[in-house]
Amino acid sequence: MLNSLSIQNYALIDQLNVNFDNGFTIITGETGAGKSILLGGLGLILGKRADLSSLRDETKKCIIEAIFEIEKYHLKDFFEENDLDYEARTIIRREILPSGKSRAFINDSPVTLDVLSRLGDNLIDIHSQHQTLQLAENDFQLKVIDALADNRKLLLSFESKLTGYQKIQRELKKLLDFQQNAIKEHDYNTHLLEELEKATLKEGIIEELEEQYEQLNNVESIVEHLSKGYQLLNDEQVGVITLMAELKLVSSKLGTFGSQFESLNERIQSVFIEIDDISSELEVFQEKAEANPNLLEEVNTKLQTLYDLQKKHGSSTISELIEIREVLSEKVSATENVESDIKKKEKELATEEQELNKVAIEIRKRREKIIPTLQKQLSESLSQLGMGNATFKIEINPAKTFNTQGKDELIFLFAANKGSNYGDLKKVASGGELSRIMLTIKSILARYEQLPTMMFDEIDTGVSGEISNKMGDIMQSMSKTMQVFSITHLPQVASKGVHHFKVYKEDEGAVTHTKMKKLTKEERVSELAEMLGGKDVSDSALAHARQLLNG
C-alpha cells in the first residue's frame, strides 16, 4: 500500500507531503484544482517519462518520493534479480534536474526507468480512460480468466517450458542458417583443406626442404670439397693420416718414459682415431654425393607448393598454415555433421513441444471450466450497475502458435441490450459502460488475487444517482482487502470513503499553488454539500451531505 507521497517543485505544487492509510480513500476537488497534477507526480514514481516543463522553478530540481508497504506483494525475487535491497517499507524517489536529466532510486539505489516501471506495475494500478481500453485486449482478458481459474502455477510452469522451447528454436535456426551458408562454402573449404593436407605440414618442414635443396643444387661443389678433404687426410707422402701415424709412433715411445708422457700419448692416440673417423665419413659422403635432378625437382616442387600456400592464406609461418588447416577441418566436419545435428535438435524440439502442449491443454481446460462462472459474475454485478441486460460471450479456441499465456485464442464479445448483436467491447460499449465493466472486473479480480493499490480516476464519469451509489459500494467492498483510491466528482461515491482528501488551489501573492489536505468529518460535510449544490451551500444540501455520510 501507499503510505506517503512527497512532491517538491512540480507543476503548481511547491511542497506537498501527505500520508495515506489502508481502506477506501476519496480525493475530490474542483475541475482544474490539480488532481491531474497529483496523478502526474505519482506517474513519475511509477516510471513515466519526465518533462522539464513540469518543473515549477526551473532553477531547482523536482523531487518526488513515495513510501510503500510491500510485504504482501511477494517481491523479494524482483529485488534480488535487480540487485536491490529489499525493505518491507520501500522508498521510491524520482528527481528531475534543471538540466533535463532524470534520476530514479529504489531504497537509495539508482535504477533505470524500466526497472522502476516494472516495480510500479506491482504497487499501484491507476485506472484511467486509457486503461479502460485494456478491456478489449486479449492479454488482459486472459489475465482475468486465469485469475479465476487459479492458473498461476500452471502459467509459471508453462512460461518456464516456453523459455526452454524458444531456446531450442533459436539453436535450430542457427544450425539451419549455418547449413544454408555452409553448403555454399563446403566445396571450396574442402578443396583448401585437401591442398593443405597433401602438403604434409609439420614444424620445420620448410627449413628441412631448403637445406635439402641447397645440397642437391650444389652437389658438384660438395663432391669437390669432400674429395679435396679426403685427399688432404690420405695422401701417401704428406697426408694428415700418414703424418699422424708417425706422430702416434713417436708418442707411443714417449709414453714409456713416465706418466706425464703417457697422458700426452693418450691425447695423440685420441686425435688419430678422430681424424681416421673423419676420413671414413668423408669417404662415405663422397660415395653418396651424386647428382639427382629428379629429387632436386621434387624438393623444389614441394618448396614452391609451401611458398604458394603461405601466400594464398596470408601466413608467414608453417604454424599459421597448420592452424588454418585445423579451422578448415572443423568447418568441413561441422558441415558434414550438421544434418545429424539438425535432426537431433528437431527431435528435441518436438519433445519440448509435446510437453508444452500438455500444459497448454490443461490451462485451456481450466479456463473453459471457469468461463460460465465469470460470465455469471459479470452479468450479476453489471445488473446492479444499471446494465441488467448486458451479457458476454466468451469462447476459447486453440491457437496455432504458443505465447506467454498458453496456446489459446480468446473471443470476448459483449452485448449491452437484449436482441443486440455481440461485438468487440471497444466497438459496442459506451465510455460509461466500459468504466462500469472495468470496475466490475477489477472487483472480481480482487476476490481471487492480491491486487496492488487501486486508484480509480473518475471511473464514475457519466453515471449518477443510484448507479453511482452502487459503484461506490463496489469500491468500498474492494477496500476491505486492499487499499483503494477514488478520484470523483460524485458525492454519492465520495461519501463511501473512510478517508477524504481535497485538492485545491490557493493564491499566495501573484503565485498559485496546488495543495491537498485531509478533511475532518465536518469539512467532509461541507465538501459533499458543495458537490451536491455548488458554492452556495444550502441547509438542505448540508442535511443531505450528513445523510450520505451516515449512510
Summarised one tens digit per residue, pLDDT across range 457-468 is 888 877 777 888
pLDDT at 249: 85
User: Could you give the C-alpha distances from 426 to 135, 139, 416, 429, 433, in angstroms and in order?
Assistant: 8, 15, 12, 6, 10
pLDDT band, residue 230 (cuts 50/70/90): confident
pLDDT at 374: 93
Instruction: Provide the percentage of residues in the chain whose pLDDT is more than 70.
Output: 98
Phi and psi, residue 411, nearest 5°: -110, 115
Question: If you average pLDDT over residues 198-218, what whole number do you get?
Answer: 81
Question: If you average pLDDT over residues 4-11, what whole number do you get?
Answer: 92
Residue 424 · residue 413 · CB < 8 Å: yes
Burial class (CB in 10 A: 0-12, 13-18, 19+), 435: buried
Question: If you average pLDDT over residues 520-538, what whole number do you get?
Answer: 89
Highest-scoring range by mean pLDDT, 12-16, 415-419, 441-445, 500-504 = 500-504
What three-state secondary structure class fits 488? coil
124-127 and 109-111 as β-strands: parallel, antiparallel, unpaired?
unpaired
Residue 53 pLDDT > 80, yes or no? no
pLDDT digits (tens, 9 = 90+) for 134-193: 777 888 889 899 999 999 999 999 999 999 999 999 999 988 888 877 777 767 777 777
**What single-letter DSSP state applies at residue 316?**
S
pLDDT band, residue 551 (cuts 50/70/90): low
Q: How many CB atoms lie within 10 A of CB 87?
A: 15
Answer whether 0.85 is exceeded by the pTM.
Answer: no
Highest-scoring range by mean pLDDT, 38-42, 82-86, 292-296, 319-323 = 82-86
Residue 355 pLDDT > 70, yes or no? yes
Instruction: Provide the percentage of residues in the chain whose pLDDT is more than 90.
Output: 37
Cα separation, 258 vs 345, whole angstroms: 91
| Structure-block grid coordinates of residue 124 | 499501484
Highest-scoring range by mean pLDDT, 239-253, 332-346, 408-422 = 408-422
Question: If you average pLDDT over residues 94-111, what whole number do you get?
Answer: 92
pLDDT band, residue 500 (cuts 50/70/90): very high
pLDDT band, residue 296 (cuts 50/70/90): confident
pLDDT band, residue 240 (cuts 50/70/90): confident
pLDDT at 164: 94
Which of 419 and 344 is assigned the larger pLDDT? 344
Residue 143 · residue 412 · CB < 8 Å: no
Residue closest to 322 by CA, chosen among 196, 499, 181: 196
Question: If you average pLDDT over residues 342-357, what whole number do you get?
Answer: 93
Which of 33 and 435 is assigned the larger pLDDT? 435
Residue 331 · residue 182 · CB < 8 Å: yes
Quick one: CA dihedral 136, 138, 143, 149, positive or negative? positive
pLDDT at 499: 96
The domains of the chain, with CATH numbers, are 1-123+452-519 (3.40.50.300), 181-336 (no CATH)
pLDDT at 129: 62
Cα separation, 544 vs 551, whole angstroms: 10
Cα separation, 455 vs 444, whole angstroms: 16
Cα separation, 18 vs 7, whole angstroms: 9
pLDDT digits (tens, 9 = 90+) for 311-344: 888 888 888 888 888 888 777 776 777 788 889 9
Beta sheet of 406-415, edge-to-edge order: 391-403, 406-415, 423-424
Residue 103 pLDDT > 70, yes or no? yes
pLDDT digits (tens, 9 = 90+) for 264-276: 888 888 888 888 8
pLDDT band, residue 347 (cuts 50/70/90): very high
Which of 205 and 60 is assigned the larger pLDDT? 60
Cα separation, 226 vs 223, whole angstroms: 5
Residue 425 · residue 434 · CB < 8 Å: yes
pLDDT at 474: 93
| Structure-block grid coordinates of residue 392 | 458476454
pLDDT band, residue 130 (cuts 50/70/90): low
24-28 and 484-487 as β-strands: parallel, antiparallel, unpaired?
parallel
What three-state secondary structure class fits 481? coil
What three-state secondary structure class fits 501? strand
89-96 and 62-69 as β-strands: parallel, antiparallel, unpaired?
antiparallel
Cα separation, 533 vs 535, whole angstroms: 7
pLDDT at 133: 67
Residue 373 pLDDT > 90, yes or no? yes
